[in-house]
Amino acid sequence: MSRHNQIQYLLFSFLLALLANSGIFSQEPKAGTPPDSVFDVVIAGGKIVDGTGCAWFYGDIGIRADRITAIGDLQQRPAKQRIDAGGLIVAPGFIDMLGQSEFHILVDSRAASKVLQGITTEITGEGVSIAPVNERMVLEGKPTWDHFRLLQDFRTLAGYFTRIETRSPTAINIGMMIGIGGVRDYVLGRENKPAGPKELEQMKRLVAQAMEEGALGLSSSLQYVPDRFATPEEIIELARVARQYGGFYLTHLRSESGKIYEAMEEAFLVAERARIPTEIWHLKTAYKANWGKMPEVLRRLEEARQRGLDVSANQYPYTRASNGLDSCLPLWAREGSSAAMVSRLKDPVLRDRIRKEMEDPDAAGWENQWYGSGGAEGVMVSSVLHPELRSYEGKTMKEIGARMNKDPRDALMDLVIADQGHTDCIISIMTEEDVRTALKHPLVSIDTDSAARAEDGPLSQSKSHPRAWGTFPRILGRYVREEKLFSLEEAVRKMTSRPAARAGLHDRGILRPGMAADITVFDPIAIRDLATFEDPNHYSIGVEYVLVNGKIVVSQGRITRERPGHPLRGPGFRLRK
C-alpha cells in the first residue's frame, strides 16, 4: 500500500471511530431496500424502561417520522441514523404535570433546563392561563412582555397555539389548562366579589371556547388572587363545562397548611358534583405546625378513591416552595390590579395594618405565608424583573432588611413596589419526611412547578427555584439510585404513563409501536441535579439523548437546533374536528 493510500485509510478509519464513539451513526440503506422498511432512527442496545412500571428489558427502538414503529432486535434492520444506547436507560419522554413555561418558550424556544432533564411535554396553566385575555389584561401584563421584547399578538388559546406552530416553534410539547383565575379576571377583574348569573354564563362560555380550541381541562390556584375569590359552586359550574368536553380538573388547593383537610374536601366535592377526574397540584403539608400530616393526607386521598372519585396528585421533590413575593401580604392588600396593590403599600396607615397582620399566627381568610415560613429568615428573593434590583436575588428578607436598614416587612413592601409585583421568592415551609412520604405513593406523579430557564440568553439573567433545573434528575439520582426510596421502573412510571393517563395523552407516556416518539435516554449512574437554592442556574447532567416527536432535541447531552414540539390539544378540539 502506498504512503498516500495508507494516509487515506488511516483518515477513513479515524472518521469511522469518531462516528462510532459519538453514539450516533448515520447509515444509508442498501440500494433496493424498500423505503417503508427503513427506520429514520434506531435507538439500539439500551435497557428499556417502558413506562408501565414493569421490569426493564434489553431491546432496540425503531422510529419512522414521529412514531415508534418497532421494538425488539433491530440490529440487522436498516436505519438512516443509529443511537448507541449501550449502558443507558431508554424511557418515554418525561411529562411535567406543572411546567409553567407557556410564556418562557416564546422567549427561548430551547426550553433548555427542561429538555436537559429529559422532559418532552409540559402541562401548564395554573389558575391563570396565557389565554384568553382581553385588552385590559394585555395592558396589565405589558411590562413583562416588553422586558423580553415580545408582542402579545393573540387573545385566544387558538391564537397562542397557532403562534407556536407557525412563528414560535419550540423543543417541547405543551398542553394547556384553562384557568378559573384567568376567566374570572377576564369577566370580573381581580376584585373580591361573587359572580352573578350573567358573569357566570360568560365565564362558562370562555371555558367552553377554550376547550374547543384545545385546552386539556380546567384549573384553579385557590391560594392566590383572583382564584381565591371563586366559590365552590362557581368552580363546580365551570368544571361541568370542562367535563362536557372530556376534560379534567387540576387544582392548587385553597389551603396547603392548617386547613388542608377542608381544602381537600373542596376538591373532592368538585370531583363528585361535576363528575370530573381531579388532580391536586404540588401536594404538600406546609408550615411547621402541619408537618407530619402527609400520611393522613394520603389516607384521605385513598379514601376518596374508595368512594369512587377519580382523584390523584403530583409533587416536586424539595422542601422549599416558590411564588410571588407579594403572596407574603394579606389577601386584601393584593386584591385588584398591581397598581391598586402598590397604591395600598404606599399608604402609611395600611402599611401599619399589613405589618401587624403579617405577624399574626391566627390570620383568617388567607394563607399567612410570611409567618408560616418563619418570617424574614424563611423568605428568600429568587428573581426580579427589573435589572436594578438583581443584587437582592439569593438573599433572605432578613439580609435585605439589614441592607436597606428597614424592618424586613417594610423592605418586602418596598421591594414589591419597586418591582411592580413581579418579584418571586423561595419559602422554607416543608419537611423532608413529608416530601419522601408523598413521593413514594403510587398516586403521586411529578411536576417542576417552574418555567424553563437557561444558563445563557435572556432567561439566564435572573435566578429561580432549583426545581426548574433539577426535579426529574434529582428523583432518579437521589431518591432512586442513592436512597432506593422506590424502583427505577416506578420512578419512570410516575414521570410518564401516570401523568399521560391523567392528562388524556393516550399516545404518549409508554414505549410501544404506534406511540409518539417522545423518548429520553439517560445514564442511570451519572444522572443528577446540580442546581441549589443559593446557586440554581446549572443544568442537570446524565441525560444523553431526548427525542420529541421523533426528532433529536438533545444529543450527547447537548441541545440541538431541532424544534419539533407541538401543542397537545385536548378532547374538545378533537370532538369539534
Nearest to 307 by CA among 267, 268, 249: 268
Q: What is the CATH number of the domain that holds 78?
A: 2.30.40.10
- Residue 360 resides in a domain: yes
Q: Is 477 helix (H, G, I), strand (E, B) or coil?
A: helix
Residues lower than pLDDT 70 in the chain: 1-36, 577
DSSP state of 224: S
d(CA 479, CA 285): 20
- Provide the pairing of β-strand 558-559 with 248-252: unpaired
Same domain, 332 and 404: yes
Is there a single domain that holds both residue 561 and residue 482? Answer: yes
The sign of the dihedral angle between the CA atoms of 215, 219, 224, 229 is positive
Is residue 143 in some structural domain? no
CA 411 to chain centre: 31
Exposure string for 185-222, b = 16+ CB within 10 A, e = fewer: bbbbbbeeeebeeebbebbbebbbbbbbbbbbbbbbbb
Strand partners, 534: none
Domain-terminating residue out of 428, 462, 489: 428
- Predicted pLDDT at 10: 42
Same-domain status, 421 and 513: no
201-222 pLDDT tens trace? 999 999 999 999 999 999 999 9
Whether the CB-CB separation of 364 and 377 falls below 8 Å is answered with: no
Contact between 274 and 243 (Cβ < 8 Å):
yes
573, part of any domain:
yes
Whether 507 is in a domain gets the answer yes
Dist CA 447 CA 242 (whole Å):
22
Give which of 478, 506, 507, 505 is closest to 491, Cα–Cα.
Answer: 478
Dist. CA 203–CA 184, nearest whole Å: 7
Task: Answer yes or no: do 400 and 493 share one domain.
Answer: no
Please indicate, yes or no, whether residues 408 and 502 belong to a single structural domain of this protein.
Answer: no
Query: Does residue 416 sit in the same domain as residue 501?
Result: no
* Inside any domain, residue 69: yes
Q: Which residue's C-alpha cell is 402541619? A: 290
Maximum alpha-carbon separation in the chain? 94
| pLDDT digit string, tens, across residues 209-263 | 999 999 999 999 999 999 999 999 999 999 999 999 999 999 999 999 999 999 9
* Residue indicated by cell numbers 440490529: 75
Q: How many CB atoms lie within 10 A of CB 459?
A: 23
Task: For the beta carbon of residue 93, count every other beta carbon within 10 angstroms.
Answer: 28
Residue pair 470/476 in contact (Cβ under 8 Å)? The answer is no
pLDDT for 37 equals 80
Q: Which three cell numbers stand for residue 351?
A: 402599611
Amino acid 23: pLDDT: 54
Neighbouring residues of 340: CB distance < 8 A, sequence distance ≥ 6: none
Encode 496-528: b = buried (16+ Cβ within 10 Å), e = exposed. bbbbbbbbbbeebbbbeeebbbbbbbbbbebbb
b/e map of 259-285 (b: 16 or more CB within 10 Å)?
Answer: ebeebbebbbbbbbebebbbbbbbbbb
Cα 247 to Cα 182, 219, 565, distances in angstroms: 17, 10, 22
Strands (E), 293-438: 311-315, 320-324, 379-383, 424-428
Amino acid at 248: F
Assign 279 to helix, strand or coil: strand
Whether residue 132 is contained in a domain is answered as no
Across-strand partners of 323? Answer: 425
Same domain, residue pair 482 and 576: yes
* Residue 454 belongs to a domain: no
Using CA atoms, how far apart are residues 160 and 158, in angstroms rounded to an integer? 5
- Residue 574, pLDDT score: 74
Domain count along the chain: 2
Q: What cell does 488 get?
A: 427505577
Is residue 330 situated within a structural domain?
Answer: yes
Q: What's the domain range around 563?
A: 1-92+478-577
pLDDT at 24: 52
Give the Cα separation of 203 and 195 in Å (integer).
9
124, containing H or E segment: strand 119-124
Q: What is the pLDDT of residue 4?
A: 47
Q: String of b and e for 31-43 (b: at least 16 CB within 10 Å)?
A: eeeeeeebbbbbb
Given 368, 398, 428, the domain boundary residue is 428
Residue ending a domain, choose from 412, 428, 444: 428
Q: What is the DSSP string of 400-434?
A: HHHHHTS-HHHHHHHHHHHTTT--EEEEE---HHH
Helix (H, G, I), strand (E, B), or coil: what is residue 442?
A: coil
C-alpha distance from residue 234 to each of 136, 194, 199, 209 (Å): 23, 9, 11, 17
